[in-house]
Amino acid sequence: MGVVGGFFAAGTPARAAEAGLKAGDHVAVIGDSITEQKQYSVFIEEYLLMCRPTTGITVTQFGWGGETAPGFAGRMANDMIPFNVSAATTNFGMNDGGYSPMDEGKAKRYHDGQTSVVEQLKKGGVRFIVVGSPGCVDSDTFRKDPQAAAMYNKTLSAERDIAKQVAQEQGVAFADVIDPMLEVMEKAKAKYGHQYHVGGGDGVHPDANGHLVMAYAYLKGLGCDGNIGTITLDLAGGKAEASEGHKVLGFHDGAVEVESSRYPFCFYGDPKTTNSTTGVIEFFPFNEDLNRFRLVVPGAKPGQQYKVTWGAESKTFAGEALAKGINLAAVFLQNPFSEPFHKVEEMIRTQQNFETPLVKQAIHDLPEYERILPEEKEMFVKLHGTLVAKDKPFREASAAAVVPVKHTIKVEEVKGGWGISKIAILKSQI
């Protein structure tokens, strides 16, 4: 377990950078009922498709309620390997720990199960693997007993160490999920109260807030660098430039029109509620590490205040801040990408909702039918391939829903005084 800048490191960056995601990768998000909630898996797919750390990526979700690492190892040859994925993340441990203190038998089963999963993924042609630790249970809602929660988080932390050991032994990447969740949970409850759960209302299955922390850990483990893009405005020279993924269409009177094929990650909801993603982001560096969409105005005057308008919202910044660069994604939570982002999310949810019964029922049950009707083996082999292929159009539809967004950013000098209250607001925004 490492600490970076006061926050727990989410993975093993060196290994992630060595392997990394490649154009055209098909990513499997594998795990138990927390994965089957289709929330952190949706966030991961949203990020990989819209924020575009690389091009042409597709994602399939393989969550199964009640699953363990050994359980998945025993069925993955039929249920998952035929999907021909090239990258994978795993999340096991919540059930492996038995909701009780750790012992040697559990530790060995978990280690051997994780090892078998990784070895089978490699044999199945998976190039890039991120072994994740389990998440945490909530300190207030798990059995409504803080002592029980502390006991089980100790077990889950022991599994974190085992998962990291397996990743090291197998030469694959690791994502520390539990430590960021524990730290965020402590900070969030300090602000919003003990009723604000991060480990879920039942203590085990998080709402959107906890799932966003999980997605953060995996995206870091996948090696995502967080550079969404940079828009640079030369107000005096009347020029504008944009980095890869963004195209300047025009610049006039301090307003630049941009067409972006790479989206910033967008947030939603009432910050005080657990099914929102807006309230939790202040407690961990999602925007700093993964969501940097920067506006830079090199010629902005020191001591001068500027109004920045993006979409329907305007905010005021000091010239010094603009010259250094502001993160539009962090200070404009509602922005021109919010609605397009939501539309893509709807397609992704349709896709992942299809994948659960596809894997858990249609594909998983075929070996039993073949056992009963061995004379029809050839038919079942063909049917298996047909069912696996049914997922591809859904994945492609999700990816195709990501269309370029045209938006305008306007920067203008604000005449008048610069009050202390505005300085305080500026500091809180950046």
Report d(CA 253, CA 121) in Å as an integer: 55
- Which residues are CB-contacts of 106 (< 8 A; sequence separation ≥ 6)? 96, 97, 98, 155
Please tell me the predicted confidence (pLDDT) of residue 202: 98
Report d(CA 197, CA 275) in Å as an integer: 10
The answer to whether the CB of 45 falls within 8 A of the CB of 395 is no
Domains, the chain, ordered by start: 7-221 (3.40.50.1110)
Report d(CA 399, CA 48) in Å as an integer: 10
Please tell me the predicted confidence (pLDDT) of residue 213: 98
The answer to whether the CB of 30 falls within 8 A of the CB of 62 is yes
Please tell me the predicted confidence (pLDDT) of residue 53: 86
Residue range 223-260, pLDDT digits in tens: 999 999 999 999 999 999 999 999 999 999 999 999 99
Report d(CA 282, CA 154) in Å as an integer: 26
Report d(CA 386, CA 375) in Å as an integer: 19
Q: What is the DSSP letter of 182?
A: H
pTM, two decimals, is 0.93
Residue 271, phi then psi, degrees to nearest 5: -60, -20
Order of all β-strands in the sheet with 128-132: 58-63, 26-31, 87-91, 128-132, 173-175
| Helix and strand totals (H; E) in the chain | 16, 16
Report d(CA 248, CA 266) in Å as an integer: 22
Distances in Å between the Cα of 147 and the Cα atoms of 21, 102, 135 are 41, 15, 17
pLDDT one digit per residue (tens) for the chain, 430 residues = 333 334 444 444 434 334 699 999 999 999 999 999 999 999 999 999 999 989 999 999 999 999 999 999 999 999 999 999 999 999 999 999 999 999 999 999 999 999 999 999 999 999 999 999 999 999 999 999 999 999 999 999 999 999 999 999 999 999 999 999 999 999 999 999 999 999 999 999 999 999 999 999 999 999 999 999 999 999 999 999 999 999 999 999 999 999 999 999 999 999 999 999 999 999 999 999 999 999 999 999 999 999 999 999 999 999 999 999 999 999 999 999 999 999 999 999 999 999 999 999 999 999 999 999 999 999 999 999 999 999 999 999 999 999 999 999 999 999 875 443 344 344 434 4
Positions of E strands within 284-430? 292-296, 305-310, 313-318, 326-327, 405-413
